[in-house]
Structure 1
Amino acid sequence: MVHAIQIPHDEDRPLYKVEVNDLSGMQAAVGGLIQAIDLGPLHSTFFVNEEGKLEKQSINRRATLMWWLLFPSARHMDVIVGEALMVGHPDEEGNSTDVPEAVTKLLFETKSYKAEFQTYDHPTKFNGNQRRFEDYFEAANYGLGKAESWTAVQRVRVVPAED
Structure 2
Amino acid sequence: MIHAIQIPVEEDRPLYKVAIENLAGMQAAVGGYIEILDLGPLLASLVVNEEGKLLKQEINRRATLLFWLLFPSIRHHDVIVGDVLIVGHPDKDGNTTDAPANVVKLLFETKSYKAEFQTYDDPDKFNGNLRRFDDYFETANYALGKAEAWSAVQRVRVVAAEE
Q: TM-score, normalised by structure 2?
A: 0.99
* Counterpart amino acid of residue 44 in structure 1: A
What is the aligned partner in structure 2 of residue 26 from structure 1? 26
Shift in Å at residue 93 of structure 1?
Answer: 1.1
Where has structure 1 moved over 6 Å in runs of 4 or more?
A: none
* Counterpart amino acid of residue 70 in structure 2: L
Shift in Å at residue 81 of structure 1?
Answer: 0.2
Shift in Å at residue 48 of structure 1?
Answer: 0.5
* Counterpart amino acid of residue 138 in structure 1: E
SS of aligned partner of 2:76: coil
What is the aligned partner in structure 1 of residue 136 from structure 2? 136
Hey, what's the Cα distance between the residues in 2 that align with 1:84 and 1:131? 29
Hey, what's the Cα distance between the residues in 1 that align with 2:4 and 2:74? 24
- What are the within-5 Å matches in structure 2 for residues 1-163 of structure 1? 1-163=1-163
**Which consecutive residues of structure 1, in runs of 5 or more, have no partner in the other structure?**
none
SS of aligned partner of 2:58: coil
**Which consecutive residues of structure 2, in runs of 5 or more, have no partner in the other structure?**
none
Give the count of matched residue pairs. 163
Q: TM-score, normalised by structure 1?
A: 0.99
Identity of aligned residues (%): 74
Shift in Å at residue 158 of structure 1?
Answer: 0.2
* Counterpart amino acid of residue 68 in structure 1: W
SS of aligned partner of 2:116: strand
SS of aligned partner of 1:93: coil
Hey, what's the Cα distance between the residues in 1 that align with 2:9 and 2:42? 20
